Structure 1
C-alpha cells in the first residue's frame, strides 16, 4: 500500500461532495493537496479543513467546460513548482435528464464530452509524462455506472468515452509504477446525483481513493465504491489488489 505522506495530489471538484470527502481522506493520510473548484471562494472551507490536519494545500480554479481555463490551471500548478504524484479526476457534470430523450439536443453531447471526457484527459496527458519520467504516479478517472438510460445520453456517452480512452492508455502503463484506474462512486446525493440518490457521498469512500493507494503495478481496473463498502482503507487496498480484475467494460 502506497504511503502518501508528503506526496502531492490534485483533486478536481474538491469543494463539495465526493471530491471534498476524498480531499479530507487523503489529508488524514498526510497527503498534500491541490484542490480544484470552479472558483477559489468555493474552496475556502475545504482548504482550511485539510490544512488543519497538518498538510500543505492550495486552491486552483478552472471552468472544465473551457479547455483554455484548464490549461491555465495546469500552467499555474507547474509555475508553483508542485510535483504532482496523484490525480483524482473527480469533477463531472450531469447536463440534463431528458424524459423526451428522442429530442436530446446536440449541446448535451458537446458540453458533456468537454467536461467529462476531454478535460480529464487533458489533465491526464499533462501529468502522465512527468510521472513516467520519475517512475511513479497514480491517476484515477471517475466513471459512472449508468446503463440503459437514454434520458441521460450526453452524460452516459461521455463517461463511456472516458472509460475507453482511460483504459486504452492505461494498458500502455500496466506493469509499471504509474497506475491508471477508473472509479465508480455509485449514485450519491451530490449536486450531480441529486437529492433522491440512495447513497450518501460518504459511501463513496474508501472506493474512490483506492486507486491512489494500490501498489501492485496493475493498471486497467475499475474500483467500484460498492465493492469496498464498510472496509477500512487498508482492507480496501488489499481487496483491490487481490480481487479486482482488469476492466472489461461489460454492461453486466
Structure 2
C-alpha cells in the first residue's frame, strides 16, 4: 500500500500539533507548517508559513511536491468576548483574515497539489453554525467561523467537478490556548476521532460539515 501524504497548515501547538502527531503515528508521511519554522515533532518535515501572506503561500507551493492525499488547514484566533458593537475595525479585520480568508487562500494556492480523489479539510467549529447560535457571547469568533464555512461552501461549489472530498471539521471544545483551561476535551482525546473521520470519508466527493464523530453539524 502506498504511503499516504498529508500537508497540515498550523501545526505548532494545540490541535494542529496533536493532529500531525496522530497522522505520523498512523504511518502518514506528514509535512507540517509553523509560523516560525519550528519543528513540531522530531524528524518531521517542517515548512515555515504565515498563511495570511500570499507570497509565502506561493513560495510553499514551489517547495512542496504533490500529490497529497490530504491538505488540512488548522488555524484560528480569538480576541475575547466582546459584543460586536465594541469590536474595533482593526480587530474585526484581523480575526476575519486569519480565521476565514487565510485558510481559503491556502486551499486555493495549494489546490493543485491534492491528488484526484484526495481530501481538503479545514478546522471549523460548531460556533460557526448559524442555526446553533442560541447562546450569547463570542460574536466575532462565531462570525469568523460562519464566514469560513460559507467560503468553504463557495470553494467546494467552484471545484465541484474535481471529485475531491471537502470537509469542515468541528473537533469539539478542546483544552487549548484558544479553547481555554476549562474546556471539557483534551486534544489527545478528540483528535484521533477527527483522524478517523478524515480516513473514513476519504474518496467521498463533495462538502460536509462534520463533528469529531462523523455526524453532520447543522449549518
Fold shared per TM-score above 0.5: yes
In 2 relative to 1, CA 58–77 (structure 1 residues): closer, same or farther, beyond 3 Å?
A: farther
- Unaligned stretches of 5+ in structure 2? 128-132
Counterpart check, 1:182 vs 2:161: no
Deviation for aligned residue 1:27: 0.9
The answer to whether the Cα contact below 8 Å between 2:50 and 2:56 also exists between their aligned partners in 1 is: no
Please identify which structure carries the higher strand content.
2
Matching residue of 1:232: none
Q: In 2, distance between residues paired with 1:89 and 1:63?
A: 12
Normalising by the residue count of structure 1, what TM-score does the alignment of the two structures yield?
0.74
Deviation for aligned residue 1:130: 4.1
Higher mean displacement: 150-159 or 28-37: 150-159
Q: In 2, distance between residues paired with 1:85 and 1:152?
A: 34
What are the superposed Cα offsets for residues 174-217 of structure 1, whole Å, 9 maximum, x if unpaired?
58641011000111110111112121112322343323542342
Counterpart check, 1:25 vs 2:12: no
Q: In 2, distance between residues paired with 1:148 and 1:109?
A: 22
Matching residue of 2:130: none
Please identify which structure carries the higher helix content.
1
Q: How many residues align?
A: 213
Q: In 1, distance between residues paired with 2:198 and 2:157?
A: 15
The answer to whether the Cα contact below 8 Å between 1:175 and 1:218 also exists between their aligned partners in 2 is: no
- Unaligned stretches of 5+ in structure 1? 52-56, 229-239
Choose which of 26, 36, 46 in structure 2 pairs with 1:59: 46
**Cα RMSD after superposing both structures:** 2.5
Normalising by the residue count of structure 2, what TM-score does the alignment of the two structures yield?
0.84
Q: In 2, distance between residues paired with 1:154 and 1:129?
A: 32
